[in-house]
């Protein structure tokens, strides 16, 4: 039996213990939050690991499944030709740090591009490139292959972004810059004026840099297309992404296969000196005949440069890979693109729309034209 004095002592003890626990929990939570913030602002895992060249298997001897059968839910194992070295190097770190300081986004990071180390670091061609994503990191559309965040009403545009972007690019000493953007259907002009202003700011600081704009379809509004095409850029890019049959399944419902072709054709009409460019992802279930037709449609629309690359599922909530296309098959598509008359066809498992080797080639063409 607990006496009154003991009961009072027990109550005081419990009160003290509760206060201690509460204080400890609050302090622990504060410390955890502090660590989270430091981790968010600090170096990523990529900054600590060192580059290593993994021994490559003979591709022809790879025994894994390359195509997911109908009804299968398991993700396909990544074949050896899609495994890349972890990005590193002085120029890579320099660009990464300055992007964080100026609060600029790149599609290289947001879309988890496997070629980020090669492009930011200069690679074998010596042409350093980067792809800046304008108008924020949140898109108004929700394509089923893309890992960029989506929302109906993203944050307002940053009026300083064109100037900050131009300053950063000037300090990097790049030869070729790609400006891309999220879709901004919430804006009356889709953000076309904002992109055009950025191009002008970049050219003002470095008239010799080559600027490619990988832009949305602007809902097919030709006034927006004209704003971009006449802004002073060198390459007008807009991706068709996939074949016509798969477009409603792969892309946002507001995107349209025929609209994409029309936008590319009209961009060339507004500025005949432009190089026009588009990209196709393979591995989503398309047939060879459908890929062939898409390539022909792009040529008929006046597109001069084409890239073909492997679709890679960015997260579990995105479309699964139906097939991993072999490097040999990609080479066949490259040969076919050249036969169809494309000025340049970059085709390979790791090729992306903003692809380093392609930009090196386009840079050479633009220099010859000037």
**CATH, residue 127:** 3.20.20.70
Tokens representing residue 330 in the block = 């990609």
| pLDDT value, residue 161 | 94
| pLDDT value, residue 37 | 45
Which DSSP letter does residue 41 get?
H
Residue 71 lies in a domain: no
Residue 168 lies in a domain: yes
Q: What is the phi/psi pair of residue 358, to 5°? A: -65, -40
- From 281, 263, 194, select the one nearest 231 (Cα to Cα): 194
| pLDDT value, residue 18 | 42
Tokens representing residue 45 in the block = 């895992």
Edge-to-edge strand ranges of the sheet holding 235-237: 105-106, 129-134, 176-181, 210-214, 235-237, 275-282, 305-310, 344-347
Containing 176, the helix (H) or strand (E) segment is strand 176-181
CA 115 to chain centre: 10
| pLDDT value, residue 195 | 98
| pLDDT value, residue 57 | 46
CA 208 to chain centre: 25
- Rounded to 5°, angle at Cα 45 from 350 and 31: 145
The b-or-e profile of 265-288 (16+ CB within 10 A means b, else e) is: bbbbeebeebbbbbbbbbbbbbee
Residue 188: domain span: 79-369
| pLDDT value, residue 148 | 83
Burial of 176 (0-12, 13-18, 19+ CB in 10 A): buried
Residue 172 lies in a domain: yes
Global pTM?
Answer: 0.72
Residue 143 lies in a domain: yes
Q: CA 122, CA 150: separation in Å to the nearest integer?
A: 31
Residue 58 lies in a domain: no
- From 262, 259, 248, 162, select the one nearest 213 (Cα to Cα): 162
Q: Could you list the pLDDT tens digit for every one of the 370 residues in the chain?
A: 445 545 444 444 444 444 434 444 555 455 444 433 433 343 333 332 233 333 444 555 566 677 877 767 777 777 776 665 544 445 555 555 655 565 555 545 444 555 454 454 444 444 456 778 899 888 999 888 787 888 889 999 999 999 999 998 898 887 888 899 999 999 999 999 999 999 999 999 999 999 999 999 999 999 999 999 999 999 999 999 999 999 999 999 999 999 999 999 999 999 999 999 999 999 999 999 999 999 999 999 999 999 999 998 888 888 889 999 999 999 999 999 999 999 889 898 888 766 554 565 677 677 777 6
Domain count, the chain: 1
Q: CA 31, CA 120: separation in Å to the nearest integer?
A: 35
Q: Which residue has the tokens 């898409």?
A: 294
Tokens representing residue 71 in the block = 């009804």
Residue 94 lies in a domain: yes
| pLDDT value, residue 81 | 64
Tokens representing residue 298 in the block = 């792009």
Residue 134 lies in a domain: yes
Residue ranges at the known binding site for [4Fe-4S] cluster: 108, 113, 119, 139, 143, 146, 354
Residue ranges at the known binding site: 108, 113, 119, 139, 143, 146, 354
Residue 54 lies in a domain: no
CB 197 within 8 A of CB 175: no
- From 216, 234, 310, 315, select the one nearest 275 (Cα to Cα): 234
Q: CA 279, CA 287: separation in Å to the nearest integer?
A: 16
CA 157 to chain centre: 19
Q: CA 267, CA 323: separation in Å to the nearest integer?
A: 33
| pLDDT value, residue 142 | 86
């Amino acid at each position: 039996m607990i006496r009154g004095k003991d009961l009072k002592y027990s109550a005081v003890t419990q009160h003290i213990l509760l206060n201690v626990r509460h204080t400890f929990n609050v302090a622990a939570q504060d410390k955890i939050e502090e660590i989270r913030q430091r981790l968010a602002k600090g170096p990523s895992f990529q900054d600590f690991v060192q580059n290593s060249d993994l021994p490559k298997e003979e591709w022809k001897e790879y025994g894994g499944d390359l195509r997911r059968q109908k009804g299968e839910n398991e993700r396909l194992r990544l074949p050896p030709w899609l495994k890349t070295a972890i990005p590193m190097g002085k120029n890579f770190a320099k660009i990464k740090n300055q992007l964080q300081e100026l609060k600029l986004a790149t599609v290289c990071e947001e879309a988890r591009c496997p070629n980020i180390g090669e492009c930011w670091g200069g690679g074998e061609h010596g042409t350093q490139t980067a792809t800046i994503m304008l108008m924020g990191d949140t898109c108004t559309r929700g394509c089923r292959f893309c890992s960029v965040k989506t929302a109906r009403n993203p944050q307002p545009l940053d009026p300083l972004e064109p100037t900050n972007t131009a300053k950063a690019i000037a300090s990097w000493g790049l030869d070729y810059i790609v400006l891309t953007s999220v879709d901004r259907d919430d804006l009356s002009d889709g953000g076309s004026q904002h992109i055009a202003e950025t191009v002008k700011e970049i050219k003002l600081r470095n008239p010799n840099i080559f600027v490619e704009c990988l832009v949305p379809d602007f809902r097919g509004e030709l006034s927006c297309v004209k704003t971009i095409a006449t802004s002073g850029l060198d390459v007008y890019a807009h991706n068709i992404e996939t074949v016509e049959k798969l477009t409603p399944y792969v892309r946002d419902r507001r995107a349209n296969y025929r609209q994409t072709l029309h936008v590319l054709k009209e961009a060339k009409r507004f500025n005949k000196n432009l190089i026009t460019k588009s990209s196709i992802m393979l591995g989503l279930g398309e047939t060879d005949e459908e890929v062939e037709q898409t390539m022909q449609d792009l040529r008929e629309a006046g597109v001069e440069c084409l890239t073909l690359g492997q679709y890679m599922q960015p997260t579990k909530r995105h479309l699964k890979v139906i097939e991993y296309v072999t490097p040999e098959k990609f080479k066949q598509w490259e040969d076919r693109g050249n036969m169809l008359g494309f000025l340049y066809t970059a085709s390979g498992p790791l090729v992306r729309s903003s692809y380093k080797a392609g930009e090196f080639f386009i840079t050479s063409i633009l220099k010859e034209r000037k």
